[in-house]
């Protein structure tokens, strides 16, 4: 069977507004056009994966139960929109834990590639921070930075493309 390509995407600040350690379902507000874009990408045959650092758990800012309530709300809203996730990866650790999964480690992407038989070189990592871009690069994906002002700071990892919104992301991927 031919390998499938994936869209890996960050959650906070990319899929949903960044609520700074969101702890309740009411904190979930989708970014403009995000769900519409994912529906289109899904129709084009991409498998979809959330790749998220949730260090609020490891830092003790939010409980695992609070985090779970937010994951569930995101998953339910996606499902209600007809979006099927391949898997949602969450690293719950704090930076001090020195875990193997926390971005910019490519561990979560590589795990998905292995389990879902994905072709990484045809896949994309989408995120709002340099750490997301770095993660995608280490995994061997193409990388897209979602940033309204289109500015990449000098010290950040340079993405293949910078998009002001999700509709631009779809247009870019379609052109590839």
Would you say 49 and 88 are in contact if contact means Cβ atoms under 8 Å apart? yes
Beta-sheet pairing, 142-146 with 124-127: parallel
Would you say 139 and 104 are in contact if contact means Cβ atoms under 8 Å apart? no
Binding to Mg ion by residue 130, rule CB under 5 A? Answer: no
Nearest Cα neighbor of 50 from 72, 21, 66, 69 is: 72
| Residue choice 62, 91, 109, 173 for contact with Zn ion (CB under 5 A) | 91
Binding to Mg ion by residue 27, rule CB under 5 A? Answer: no
132 is written with which tokens?
A: 């997301």
Would you say 148 and 165 are in contact if contact means Cβ atoms under 8 Å apart? yes
Of 29-37, 63-71, 94-102, 150-158: span binding Zn ion (CB under 5 A): 94-102
CA separation for the pair 164, 149 (Å, rounded) = 7
| Residue choice 6, 8, 12, 125 for contact with Mg ion (CB under 5 A) | 12
Which positions are annotated as active-site residues? Answer: 10, 12
- Closest contact distance (angstroms) between CB of 107 and Zn ion is 8
Binding to Mg ion by residue 140, rule CB under 5 A? Answer: no
Chain residues 115-174 in contact with Zn ion, contact rule CB under 5 A: none
Q: With respect to Zn ion, which residue has the nearer C-beta, 11 or 93? A: 93
Name the residues that contact Zn ion, by CB under 5 A. 91, 93, 99, 101-102
Name the residues that contact Mg ion, by CB under 5 A. 10, 12-13, 128
């Amino acid at each position: 069977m031919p390998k499938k390509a994936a869209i890996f995407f960050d959650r906070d600040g990319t899929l949903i507004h960044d609520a700074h350690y969101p702890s309740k379902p009411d904190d979930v507000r989708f970014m403009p056009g995000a769900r519409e874009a994912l529906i289109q990408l899904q129709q084009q045959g991409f498998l979809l994966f959330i790749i998220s650092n949730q260090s609020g758990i490891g830092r003790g800012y939010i409980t695992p139960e609070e985090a779970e309530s937010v994951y569930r709300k995101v998953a339910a809203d996606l499902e209600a929109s007809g979006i099927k996730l391949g898997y949602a990866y969450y690293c719950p650790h704090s930076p001090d834990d020195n875990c193997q999964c926390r971005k910019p480690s490519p561990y979560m992407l590589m795990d998905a590639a292995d389990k879902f038989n994905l072709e990484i070189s045809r896949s994309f990592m989408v995120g709002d921070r340099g750490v997301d871009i770095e993660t995608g690069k280490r995994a061997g994906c193409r990388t897209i930075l979602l940033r309204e002002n289109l500015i990449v700071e000098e010290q950040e990892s340079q993405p293949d493309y910078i998009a002001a919104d999700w509709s631009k992301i779809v247009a870019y991927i379609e052109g590839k």
